[in-house]
Chains A and B, each alone.
Chain A
Amino acid sequence: MKYLPLVLGALLRKKWRTLLALLSLMAAFLLLGLGQAVNSLVEGGAEFLGVDRLITQARTSFTQPLPLRMLPRIEAVPGVKRVGWSQFFGGVYQDPRNFFPQFAVDPARLYDTYPEWRLDAEAKRDFIATRNGAIVGRVLADKYGWKVGDTIPLSSFIWQKRDGGNAWEWKLVGIFDGRDDAWQKRTGIMYLNFGYFDESRVAGAAGLAGVFVVRLRDPAEVDTVAAMIDAQFANSPDETKTQSEQAFQIGFLRQIGDIAFIVNAILGAAFFSLLILTGFIMNQSVRERVPEFGVLKCLGFSDRTVLGLVLAEALALCASGAALGIGLAYAVTALLPADYPARIDTRVLVIAAIAALLLAVVVGLPPAWRAMHLKIVDALAGR
């Protein structure tokens, strides 16, 4: 700590140079922060999802709805606690840009399969009792200013009504919250009463459940129960693919493609450019101060201390650049609407810290090495 004024003095020697270096470091760490926030979303964004839930979808594709008649056979599989189903509704509110996910579900089964949602008892009863009832998450209710009792018209781009139209009216009977922060963030969705949905859609589609949501007695049995469910329907027209809810969500996001590759390529290029830039600045700064290092050594500073001083300078520069960049990235992601859940989480912070440390060593070591091996006589002469 006693060397701190010395390190600061070296950095403030040419304020403009340090400031500019800091700004370009900040730009790079801003990109790193944003890129890794997206990566976090793709790689591990679903980590908090229930470990005791499986999703059973049609093996061909989750867009192929499974028939409701499979329900008793899934319920009969040992280890299964409760089964619900969920049909993607694909509705837009007022304007095609107002899209949010809606699922037609059986209310009572929803409460059992998703205990993470908090809904008061009265609303729970109303959702079961109201044929065209719907409940929405808090995030969504706040976004559109809905309150209980409102009628919400949705135009489905998938489901036609029996009378040929595709305009559906839903009565809002409750607003649900999440169990904790992570779940609260996911309340940007809407659940519709399957009863009204099923009796009103075109006759050919009635009785299709969509995907099944299976809650298990014991999370340790995920793989065995999934295999047992799939075995039930092997070689039938409705073959299934059962996986944990987490795997289902990640698979869904992976569809977007080689995001990780593109993000990493950008970060690689940005970092490489930066490495060279900061390395050059450090080198330049050490070269200019050769006589000063000579003086320091005369005063009795050991070679190692000089090495440490230069490295500390590099670290201070990289760390403050990283802190500024990540701070900015944090501000940017916090401004994103709830539909883009990319956030700066611990994983991103750890990656940024490691990157800053590595960068400091790579750019600081060559000039530090040089400063350490300076001969006092040469240094004082500025050679």
Chain B
Amino acid sequence: MLSQTREIVLLNLRSIPSRLGASLVIVIGIAGVVAVLVAMLSMARGLSRTLEDTGAPDRIMVLRGGSTVELSSFLDRASSTLVRQDPAVARLPSSLPAASGEVVVITEVVRPGQTSGANVSLRGIEPSGMALRPELRLIEGRVFRPGLRELIVGSAARSQFANLDPGSVLRFRGTDWRVVGVFASGDAHDSELWADLETVQGVFRRNGVSSVLLKLANADSFDAIKARLTSDPQLNVEVQREGEYFRSQSAGLTRQISAVTTLVGIVMALGAMFGAINTMYSAVSTRTAEIGTLRALGFGRVPVIASVLAESLLLALAGGVLGAGIAWALFNGYTVSTLGSGFTQIAFDFAVTPALLVKGLLWSLAIGFIGGLAPALHAARIPVTEALRAR
């Protein structure tokens, strides 16, 4: 029976070109579904990757007690000074603690071609803030000078929003700020504007900071410093690893995108499945005489079923490969920005990963299998005598 099956499957597959129109319907229908599915999943993947990649294991963030985002956190100068005196904090070559008090305020910039503003974080950092983040590279221009109203902009912010090229001037609260450089860090900070802490505090009338970033001498001492800082009666703080903080920021948004993707994916897959069933039925009906002849020659039912299923699976696979390819070509690395949980824009790249491509192919095979099953069983059930009479 195995050799029978092989023969009949090959025979059937060789005859696909004669039914090219019908076959293309399945391929293109499934390609559409897989392309949309992979594109949407890659959006969710890209967003969570951007946020999850932010942060190093030996860096911790100190926020006000009860705060979940930097935006709603406030630490006064005394707290900001006190937390960095902890013995677990690493020292810079200058023997000062490796810490950066940072203030985050929201500013509005416009997207190219639009007039309504989009919220973007402006982060004021201490001079040590750059040294604390070795993953950060300056890709154009220079760093801002402390005391001057100068900005460096993240590479994603620069590409997503208008008027952020070096040399351009932004206006915040009656003051002019010059863009002097562009940085890239490959994480959530790429969507931000950075400037000198004290200059930002002055213009935005803040006398404290939103958060303090600390570098630990030893990543294992996190539990100890967390216990010390949270139990200190002079402080009311929340202590988190930097990575944990950014992961918690991505959770809600990724969940929403995944829910929408699943809904859209299922509706589209059903649409394509009905199409595939239809097409396979017509493929079977054009082959009725052929199937009857084969059955009369002594081929069993199973090989007939296998041949129809193989055709449907092969076409579905072709559609899956085409769709995944389209999604990869169009969307891999495509940058979009949306409103993150900190109420500011977060820009991220679509990430079409191999795992997502495999997932797309699995969906296409599932559609092909379910789409081909009923027509295959139907083909096997046609009585031989009737099938032979078919035109």
**Residues of chain B contacted by A158 (CB below 8 angstroms):** 72
Known: A64-B106, A281-B278. A239 touches B72 (CB 8 A): no
Check A157 against B72 for contact (C-beta < 8 Å): yes
B324 sits at the interface (CB 8 A) = no
In the complex, what distance in Å separates the CA atom of A241 from the CA atom of B116? 11
Contact of A164 among B67, B106, B236, B336 (CB under 8 A): B236
B16 sits at the interface (CB 8 A) = no
In the complex, what distance in Å separates the CA atom of A281 from the CA atom of B173? 63
Check A61 against B278 for contact (C-beta < 8 Å): no
Contact of B278 among A17, A241, A255, A273 (CB under 8 A): A17
Check A61 against B337 for contact (C-beta < 8 Å): no
Q: Mark B111-124, 1 if CB is under 8 A from A, else 0.
A: 00010111100000
Residue of B21, B31, B36, B40 with most chain A CB atoms under a 10 A cut-off: B36
**Residues of chain A contacted by B24 (CB below 8 angstroms):** 276
Check A273 against B272 for contact (C-beta < 8 Å): yes
**Residues of chain B contacted by A1 (CB below 8 angstroms):** none
B217 sits at the interface (CB 8 A) = no
**Residues of chain A contacted by B343 (CB below 8 angstroms):** 63
Check B29 against A250 for contact (C-beta < 8 Å): no
User: Which of chain A's residues 12-58 have a Cβ closer than 8 Å to chain B?
Assistant: 16-17, 20-21, 23-28, 30-31, 58
Check A255 against B339 for contact (C-beta < 8 Å): yes
Check B338 against A254 for contact (C-beta < 8 Å): no
Spot the interface stretch: A193-201, A219-227, A262-270, A373-381: A262-270
Check A24 against B272 for contact (C-beta < 8 Å): yes
Check B171 against A63 for contact (C-beta < 8 Å): no
**Residues of chain A contacted by B43 (CB below 8 angstroms):** 262
Interface residues on B, range: 35 or more
Check A31 against B114 for contact (C-beta < 8 Å): no
A145 sits at the interface (CB 8 A) = no
Spot the interface stretch: B136-144, B181-189, B262-270, B380-388: B262-270
**Residues of chain B contacted by A302 (CB below 8 angstroms):** none
In the complex, what distance in Å separates the CA atom of A26 from the CA atom of B271? 8
In the complex, what distance in Å separates the CA atom of A281 from the CA atom of B29? 13
A327 sits at the interface (CB 8 A) = no
Check A254 against B274 for contact (C-beta < 8 Å): no
In the complex, what distance in Å separates the CA atom of A250 from the CA atom of B30? 36
**Residues of chain B contacted by A25 (CB below 8 angstroms):** 271
In the complex, what distance in Å separates the CA atom of A62 from the CA atom of B29? 45
**Residues of chain A contacted by B106 (CB below 8 angstroms):** 60-61, 63-64
- For the complex formed, measure the closest distance between the CB of A194 and the CB atoms of chain B, giving whole angstroms: 20
In the complex, what distance in Å separates the CA atom of A257 from the CA atom of B40? 15
B284 sits at the interface (CB 8 A) = no
A79 sits at the interface (CB 8 A) = no
Check B36 against A269 for contact (C-beta < 8 Å): yes
Contact of B339 among A30, A250, A257, A274 (CB under 8 A): A257
Check A273 against B32 for contact (C-beta < 8 Å): yes
B277 sits at the interface (CB 8 A) = yes
Query: Which chain B residue has the least Cβ–Cβ distance from A275?
Result: B28
Query: Which chain A residue has the least Cβ–Cβ distance from B116?
Result: A251
Check B25 against A277 for contact (C-beta < 8 Å): yes
In the complex, what distance in Å separates the CA atom of A283 from the CA atom of B171? 62
**Residues of chain B contacted by A20 (CB below 8 angstroms):** 274-275, 277-278
Check A273 against B171 for contact (C-beta < 8 Å): no
In the complex, what distance in Å separates the CA atom of A330 from the CA atom of B127? 56
- For the complex formed, measure the closest distance between the CB of A222 and the CB atoms of chain B, giving whole angstroms: 15
Check B275 against A59 for contact (C-beta < 8 Å): no
B211 sits at the interface (CB 8 A) = no
B68 sits at the interface (CB 8 A) = yes
Check B118 against A24 for contact (C-beta < 8 Å): no
Residue of A256, A273, A284 with most chain B CB atoms under a 10 A cut-off: A273
Check A254 against B116 for contact (C-beta < 8 Å): yes
Known: A235-B174, A272-B32, A273-B32. A61 touches B274 (CB 8 A): no
Query: Which chain B residue has the least Cβ–Cβ distance from A155?
Result: B66
Check A270 against B271 for contact (C-beta < 8 Å): yes
Q: Mark B20-40, 1 if CB is under 8 A from A, else 0.
A: 011011001111110110011
Q: Mark A225-258, 1 if CB is under 8 A from B, else 0.
A: 0000000000111110100000100110011111
Contact of B268 among A31, A59, A61 (CB under 8 A): A31
A166 sits at the interface (CB 8 A) = yes
Contact of A257 among B268, B279, B338 (CB under 8 A): B338
**Residues of chain A contacted by B72 (CB below 8 angstroms):** 90, 157-158
Q: What residues make up the interface of A, taking CB atoms closer than 8 Å to B?
A: 16-17, 20-21, 23-28, 30-31, 58-64, 90, 157-158, 160, 164, 166, 235-239, 241, 247, 250-251, 254-258, 262, 265-266, 269-270, 272-274, 276-277, 280-281, 283-284
Q: What residues make up the interface of B, taking CB atoms closer than 8 Å to A?
A: 21-22, 24-25, 28-33, 35-36, 39-40, 43, 66-69, 71-72, 74, 105-108, 114, 116-119, 171-174, 203-205, 236, 264, 267-268, 270-272, 274-275, 277-279, 281-282, 336-339, 343, 345
**21 pairs, A vs B, C-beta closer than 8 Å:** A20-B274, A20-B275, A20-B278, A23-B271, A23-B274, A24-B278, A25-B271, A60-B204, A63-B106, A63-B343, A236-B174, A238-B173, A239-B171, A247-B116, A250-B116, A254-B116, A257-B337, A266-B40, A273-B32, A276-B28, A277-B279
5 shortest A-B CB distances, which residue pairs? A27-B271, A251-B116, A273-B32, A257-B338, A24-B274
Q: Beyond A28-B271, A235-B174: 9 further Cβ-contacts under 8 Å?
A: A31-B268, A60-B108, A61-B117, A63-B343, A254-B118, A257-B337, A270-B36, A270-B271, A273-B30
